Amino acid sequence: MENQLLLENISKIYGDGDTSVKVLDDVSLQVKAGEFVAVVGPSGSGKSTFLSITGALLSPTSGRIMIGGKEIHKLSPKKMNQLRLEKIGFVFQSANLIPYLTVQDQLLLISELSGMHNKNAKKRADNLLDRLGLNHRKNHYPESLSGGERQRVAIARAWMNNPDIILADEPTASLDSERGRAVVQMLADEVKLHKKAAIMVTHDKRMLDLCDRVVYIEDGRLSEKQ
Amino acid sequence: MFLALREMKHAKLRYVLIGFIMILLIWLVLFVSGLAKGLSSDNASSIQNMNADYLVLQQDSDHRLTRSTLSDKNLQDVREYTEEGKATPLGVQMTTITKNGDSKKSDITFFAIDINSMLAPTITEGKMLNHRAAHEVVADRSLQHEGLKLGDEIEDLASGEIFTIVGFTEGQSFSHTPVVYLNFNGWSTISHNRTPNQDVFNTIALNISANKAKQIEKNLPNINVISKDQALQGIPGYKEEQGSLMMMIAFLFVIAAFVLAAFFYVMTIQKMNQFGVLKAIGAKSTYLARTIIFQVVFITIISLLISISLTFGVSFILPDSMPFDLSAQLVIGCSFLFLAVSMIGALLSLYRVSKIDAIEAIGRAA
Ligand SMILES: Nc1ncnc2c1ncn2[C@@H]1O[C@H](COP(=O)(O)OP(=O)(O)OP(=O)(O)O)[C@@H](O)[C@H]1O
Ligand SMILES: [Mg+2]
Distances (CA, A) of B237 to B226, B242, B243, B244: 18, 9, 10, 11
- Measured in residues, chain A has a length of 226
Question: Does B181 share its domain with B108?
Answer: yes
Domain finish residue from B208, B235, B262: B235
Interface test with B, best of A52, A98, A143, A202 (most B CBs within 10 A): A98
Q: Which of B3, B277, B359 sits opposite A96 (nearest CB)?
A: B277
Question: Does B188 share its domain with B155?
Answer: yes
Determine the residue type at B354.
Answer: S
- How far, in whole angstroms, is CA B354 from its chain's centroid? 42
Question: Does B178 share its domain with B127?
Answer: yes
* Ligand 1 atom 9: residue of nearest CA: A49
Domain finish residue from B235, B265, B296: B235
Question: Does B168 share its domain with B117?
Answer: yes
Read off the pLDDT of residues B135-164 as tens digits, 9 standing for 90 and up: 999 999 999 988 899 999 999 998 889 999
- Euclidean distance between CA atoms A90 and A157, whole angstroms: 8
Angle in degrees, 0-180, between the axes of helices B328-354 and B12-48, rounded to the nearest 10: 140
Tell me, letter by letter, the H, E, C secondary structure of chain B.
CHHHHHHHHHCHHHHHHHHHHHHHHHHHHHHHHHHHHHHHHHHHHHHHCCCCCEEEEECCCCCCHHHCCEEHHHHHHHHCCCCCCCEEEEEEEEEEEEECCCCCEEEEEEEEECCCCCCCCCCCEECCCCCCCCCEEEEEHHHHHHCCCCCCEEEECCCCCEEEEEEEECCCEECCEEEEEECHHHHHHHHCCCCCCCCEECEEEECCCHHHHHHHHHHCCCEEEEEHHHHHHCCCCHHHHHHHHHHHHHHHHHHHHHHHHHHHHHHHHHCHHHHHHHHHCCCCHHHHHHHHHHHHHHHHHHHHHHHHHHHHHHHHHCCCCCCCCCCHHHHHHHHHHHHHHHHHHHHHHHHHHHCCCHHHHCCCCC
Question: Does B138 share its domain with B52?
Answer: yes
Read off the pLDDT of residues A24-45 as tens digits, 9 standing for 90 and up: 999 999 999 999 999 999 888 8
- How far, in whole angstroms, is CA A163 from its chain's centroid? 10
Question: Does B229 share its domain with B106?
Answer: yes
Question: Does B158 share its domain with B306?
Answer: no
Lowest mean pLDDT among B22-26, B117-121, B326-330: B326-330
The pLDDT score that the predictor gives to residue B198 is 61
Domain finish residue from B200, B235, B270: B235
Who wins on pLDDT, A155 or B174? B174
**Would you list the DSSP string of A108-157?**
HHHHHHTT--SHHHHHHHHHHHHHTT-GGGTT--GGGS-HHHHHHHHHHH
Domain architecture of chain A: domains with CATH: 3-223 (3.40.50.300)
Q: Is A99 in the pocket of ligand 1 (CB under 6 A)?
A: no
> Does the beta-carbon distance from A117 to B2 stay under 8 Å?
yes
Q: Is the pLDDT of residue A187 over 80?
A: yes
High-pLDDT (> 90) share of chain B, %: 65
> Does the beta-carbon distance from B2 to A108 stay under 8 Å?
yes
Q: Mean pLDDT over residues B253-275, rounded?
A: 88
Q: Is the pLDDT of residue A16 over 90?
A: no
The pTM (predicted TM-score) of the whole model is 0.79
CA distance, residue A203 to nearest chain B CA (Å): 13
The minimum-distance atom of ligand 1 relative to the CA of A203 is 25
> Does the beta-carbon distance from B283 to A99 stay under 8 Å?
no
Tell whether A67 is within 8 A of chain B (Cβ): no
Give the residue, out of A13, A16, A24, A47, with the most ligand 1 atoms within 8 A of its beta carbon, to mutate for a pocket test. A47
Tell whether A13 is within 8 A of chain B (Cβ): no
Q: Which of A48, A109, A117 sits opposite B362 (nearest CB)?
A: A48
If 0-12 CB within 10 Å is exposed, 13-18 middle and 19+ buried, where does residue B250 land?
exposed
Question: Does B40 share its domain with B70?
Answer: no
Question: Does B134 share its domain with B221?
Answer: yes
Q: Is A52 in the pocket of ligand 1 (CB under 6 A)?
A: no
Indicate if ipTM > 0.95: no
Question: Does B91 share its domain with B225?
Answer: yes
Question: Does B186 share its domain with B152?
Answer: yes
Chain B residues with a Cβ under 8 Å from any Cβ in chain A: 2-3, 6-7, 9-11, 273-274, 277-284, 287, 358-359, 361-364, 366
> Does the beta-carbon distance from B362 to A78 stay under 8 Å?
no
Given a contact cutoff of 8 angstroms between Cβ atoms, the answer to whether A52 and B362 are in contact is: yes
CA distance, residue A165 to nearest chain B CA (Å): 13
Q: Which of B274, B287, B362 sits opposite A52 (nearest CB)?
A: B362
Question: Does B9 share its domain with B134?
Answer: no
Number of domains in chain B: 2
CA distance, residue A192 to nearest chain B CA (Å): 23
State which residues form the domain around B171: 47-235
